[in-house]
Amino acid sequence: MTTKPCPFCCLPAERVMGQNAHALWIRDGFPVSPGHSLVIPKRHVGSFFETSLQEQAALLELLDQARAAASAEFHPDGYNIGINDGAAAGQTVPHLHIHLIPRFQGDLPDPRGGVRWVMPDKADYWSCGN
Active-site choice (22, 75, 95, 97): 97
> What is the helix, strand, coil percentage profile of the chain, to 5?
30, 20, 50
Angle formed at CA 83 by CA 87 and CA 13, multiple of 5 degrees: 100
Query: Which residues fall within 8 angstroms of residue 113, CB to CB, at 6 or more apart?
Result: 123, 124, 125, 126
Clarify whether 95 is annotated catalytic.
Answer: no
d(CA 63, CA 23): 10
Q: Which of 72, 74, 69 is nearest to 104 (CA)?
A: 74
Catalytic residues: 97
